Amino acid sequence: MEKLSVRLPDGSEMEHDRGTTVEEVAYDIGSRLGKDAVAGKVDGREVDLNYELEEDSDLEIITIDSEEGLDIYRHTASHIMAHAVKRIYDDVKLAIGPTIEEGFYYDLDLQESISEDELEKIEKEMEKINSEDLPIKRKELPRKEALKLMDEKNETYKIELIEELEDENISLYQQGDFIDLCQGPHLPSTGRLEAFKLLSVAGAYWRGDENNKMLQRIYGTAFPDQKQLEEYLKQRKEAQKRDHNKLGRKMDLFMTDQEVGAGLPLLTPKGAKVVQILQRFVEDEEEKRGYERTMTPLMARRDLYETSGHWEHYKDDMFVIGDEEKGEEVLALRPMTCPFQFKIYNSKIHSYRDLPVRFAETSTLFRNEASGEMHGLIRVRQFTISEGHLIVTPEQLEDEFRGVLKLINYMMETLGIKKDIWYRFSRWNPDKKEKYIDAPAAWRDSQEKMKNILDRLDLDYTVADGEAAFYGPKLDIQFKNVHGKEDTIITVQMDFALPERFDMTYVDEDNTEKRPYVIHRTSVGCYERTLAMLIEKYAGAFPTWLAPRQVMVIPISEAQYDYARKTAGILKSEGIRVDIDDSDEKLGYKIRQAQIEQIPYMLIVGDNEVQAETVSVRDRRDGDIGEMPLEDFKSMIKEEIDKKVSEIN
């Protein structure tokens, strides 16, 4: 038998017979590795475990505990799911079935609509396919034959996909009578899947385009073993308990009302308090950093939006008032603050010495979101944002951009969310002409400028094409809600277009008029969304400085009411948000109420405390932390509030 040499990632070399499979090599290295192997990488190319080595090569074994390995494993799960659906329903056409961060999905086109109750049935069929342990085989067919095969199977979506591939040979994977277009690699047989679960069904447009047919998407996940799957499901359930949309209502932070309308949350006193604290903090901080405050109208004539380009690129998202056909004046509620602050800038002639001009406004905006898009406090039709615009000379652009980022980072650190966010560089999509101002050269130039700044800042960021504002590229700060859905919380935008449209100028040293740059930015983004994020981050247990109620004084009986009032009065005079629970209940009950409300501190006062002029302090997390003089408690909580301590103990 002819031999060949296999070089492993650690540099060592092994000798094997020609035709040895990747899996055999893995077992030869170690039985544990053989068991954990899901695929291999031969000379950097991913291959199946049953791939036969034909020549000397570099080999890496991909194991289930790597991200790559889990991905391959889940991809096989998605094939098994599609196979099961094909067995159960008639006329199923396959679209795409990729893996995602926490599992996989498959988009399918079928007449019948699959309801969530039917997932169990599909799971059962998957189990059957699993126990049949069908071998999964890779096949390569010439384009023509692959197209012919898919045509015979009436897989119109696959045909579309193959037609876009440039490869001579098309790779397919087959298990039993199920065959799918796929790059692979895959597990060697359907029996290798250990633990999986289908999670939900939803509609999804073919190729993500709303003009295309809506397909049925089934979401599922798979894990190397049952224990890990159960752990994941448990975590998922736990995370959903933090859902701001449930918790925020339960904790009486906000409400909605059918008669008021969708996407129009009402902040109740406690929620409004948190937002007020945030706003004051942001406004004070902006002032310290050289921002000037404006207050501008919530609506304007159509003409203003025609100048800004909103009328052309953003009209569908605006609330327009007044019917032109009836000869009425046409106004629109503002979706952004920029045009208004630009008007203020333009009301004067500016010297280069005036720049940078930094305008800030706690600004309420209106956007006519489509009906299915509203979500709790995260996606609403009216929101208030820590808006700001910096008008700068080209030379100042980078420094000011850095200054904005510094402010933003300070905000995120203070809110304790620095570790929960990531940066996204959002660029335009040249193909979507209607979405963006048509100025390709300016787009490329400003994106280049932004990229250079980001790279010089050594910022770790992802890139998203088609996520820019209509007037310029953005640096978005993203977070994930409890459902794993990504949203923008803060944004910094570079604008080359609106200074032009508004003919904004400054007079430079050489006495010529020049065009400034504009940076649009938010400090914490919109307060509603920020509140939602904080609810989920802290599971309702806000840091003391943000807590709508910071202290609850709990007298044990009526005998201590006077002392309780005195205690509360002293704290209140220090600006601490304190209440007394003088309900006719037992101590345990009152503590429970305060615990549920996540009030940071409970001060229990009985006869002992009255005698000693002390309070017994109960921390919402650590429980009873002992008796202390009121003065001591006062300075302790004041320090915590002043330092805006946000860490979870």
Partner RNA sequence: GCUGACGUAGCUCAAUUGGCAGAGCAGCUGACUUGUAAUCAGCAGGCUACCGGUUCGAGUCCGGUCGUCAGCUCCA
* 165-204 positions binding RNA, by CB under 7 A: 200-204
Stretch of residues binding RNA (CB under 7 A), selected from 20-28, 71-79, 320-328, 465-473: 465-473
Contact positions with RNA (CB under 7 A) in 5-64: none
Q: Which is nearer to RNA, 369 or 508 (CB)?
A: 369
Q: Which is nearer to RNA, 618 or 634 (CB)?
A: 618
The answer to whether 526 contacts RNA (rule: CB under 7 A) is yes
The answer to whether 476 contacts RNA (rule: CB under 7 A) is yes
The answer to whether 298 contacts RNA (rule: CB under 7 A) is no
Residue with tokens 């247990």: 541
Nearest approach in angstroms of CB 435 to RNA is 6
C-alpha span between 360 and 327 (Å, rounded): 36
Out of 379, 389, 537, 549, the residue judged to bind RNA by CB under 7 A: 379
Q: How big is the site for RNA, counted in residues (CB under 7 A)? A: 84
C-alpha span between 417 and 409 (Å, rounded): 10
Burial class (CB in 10 A: 0-12, 13-18, 19+), 117: exposed
Could you tell me where the DSSP H helices lie in 289-396? Answer: 302-308, 310-313, 338-346
C-alpha span between 492 and 449 (Å, rounded): 14
Bridge partner residues of 388 (DSSP): 360, 521
Residues in contact with RNA, shown as a per-residue x/- string from 328 to 367 under the rule CB under 7 A = ---------------------------------------x
Residues in contact with RNA, shown as a per-residue x/- string from 552 to 581 under the rule CB under 7 A = ----xxxx----------------------
Return the sign of the alpha-carbon dihedral for residues 462, 463, 467, 468. Answer: positive
Q: Which H or E run contains 321?
A: strand 320-321
Stretch of residues binding RNA (CB under 7 A), selected from 21-29, 142-150, 396-404, 614-622: 614-622
Q: Which is nearer to RNA, 76 or 560 (CB)?
A: 560
- Residue 343: count of CB within 10 angstroms of its CB: 16
The answer to whether 431 contacts RNA (rule: CB under 7 A) is no
The answer to whether 604 contacts RNA (rule: CB under 7 A) is yes
Bridge partner residues of 52 (DSSP): 21
Contact positions with RNA (CB under 7 A) in 234-263: 243, 245, 250, 256, 258, 261-263
Q: What angle do CA 134, 138, 141 make, to 5 degrees?
A: 130
Stretch of residues binding RNA (CB under 7 A), selected from 90-98, 388-396, 407-415, 594-602: 594-602
Nearest approach in angstroms of CB 408 to RNA is 12
Residues contacting 247, CB < 8 A, separation 6+? 241, 535, 536, 539, 540
The answer to whether 486 contacts RNA (rule: CB under 7 A) is yes
Nearest approach in angstroms of CB 648 to RNA is 14
Burial class (CB in 10 A: 0-12, 13-18, 19+), 295: exposed
Nearest approach in angstroms of CB 350 to RNA is 27
Contact positions with RNA (CB under 7 A) in 211-230: 214, 216-217
Nearest approach in angstroms of CB 375 to RNA is 5
The answer to whether 371 contacts RNA (rule: CB under 7 A) is yes
The answer to whether 622 contacts RNA (rule: CB under 7 A) is no
Q: Which is nearer to RNA, 30 or 484 (CB)?
A: 484
The answer to whether 525 contacts RNA (rule: CB under 7 A) is yes
Nearest approach in angstroms of CB 486 to RNA is 6
C-alpha span between 493 and 80 (Å, rounded): 44
The answer to whether 462 contacts RNA (rule: CB under 7 A) is no
Q: Which is nearer to RNA, 234 or 483 (CB)?
A: 483
Stretch of residues binding RNA (CB under 7 A), selected from 125-133, 137-145, 497-505, 551-559: 551-559
Contact 384, 535 (CB under 8 A): no
> Closest Cα partner for 571 from 551, 546, 601, 542?
551
Residues contacting 499, CB < 8 A, separation 6+? 342, 391, 515, 516, 517, 518
> Closest Cα partner for 486 from 415, 528, 423?
423
Out of 23, 48, 400, 609, the residue judged to bind RNA by CB under 7 A: 609
The answer to whether 381 contacts RNA (rule: CB under 7 A) is yes
- Residue 66: count of CB within 10 angstroms of its CB: 15
Nearest approach in angstroms of CB 283 to RNA is 19
Contact 303, 502 (CB under 8 A): no
Out of 376, 472, 516, 600, the residue judged to bind RNA by CB under 7 A: 376
Nearest approach in angstroms of CB 207 to RNA is 8
Out of 435, 565, 638, 644, the residue judged to bind RNA by CB under 7 A: 435
User: How distant, in Å, are the alpha carbons of 136, 197, 276, 637 from that of 273?
Assistant: 59, 42, 5, 18
Out of 55, 370, 441, 512, the residue judged to bind RNA by CB under 7 A: 370
Out of 148, 234, 586, 643, the residue judged to bind RNA by CB under 7 A: 586
The answer to whether 466 contacts RNA (rule: CB under 7 A) is yes
The answer to whether 484 contacts RNA (rule: CB under 7 A) is yes
- Residue 584: count of CB within 10 angstroms of its CB: 7
The answer to whether 642 contacts RNA (rule: CB under 7 A) is no
Out of 386, 446, 488, 550, the residue judged to bind RNA by CB under 7 A: 488
Stretch of residues binding RNA (CB under 7 A), selected from 10-18, 70-78, 179-187, 208-216: 208-216
Amino acid at residue number 83: H
Q: Which two tokens stand for residue 315?
A: 């009209």
Contact positions with RNA (CB under 7 A) in 108-127: 113, 115-116
Q: Which is nearer to RNA, 308 or 616 (CB)?
A: 616
The dihedral over CA atoms of 460, 462, 463, 467, expressed in degrees to the nearest 10, equals: -120
The answer to whether 634 contacts RNA (rule: CB under 7 A) is no
Q: How do the residues of the chain divide into helix, strand and coil, expressed in percent and rounded to 5?
A: 40, 30, 30
Q: Which is nearer to RNA, 75 or 367 (CB)?
A: 367
Residues contacting 392, CB < 8 A, separation 6+? 355, 356, 357, 400, 516, 517, 518, 519
Burial class (CB in 10 A: 0-12, 13-18, 19+), 462: exposed
Q: Which is nearer to RNA, 358 or 381 (CB)?
A: 381
469-507 b/e (C-beta count within 10 Å ≥ 16 → b): bbbbbbbbbbbbbbeeeebbbbbbbbbbbbbebbebbbe
The answer to whether 491 contacts RNA (rule: CB under 7 A) is yes
Residues contacting 264, CB < 8 A, separation 6+? 256, 380, 381, 382
The answer to whether 98 contacts RNA (rule: CB under 7 A) is no
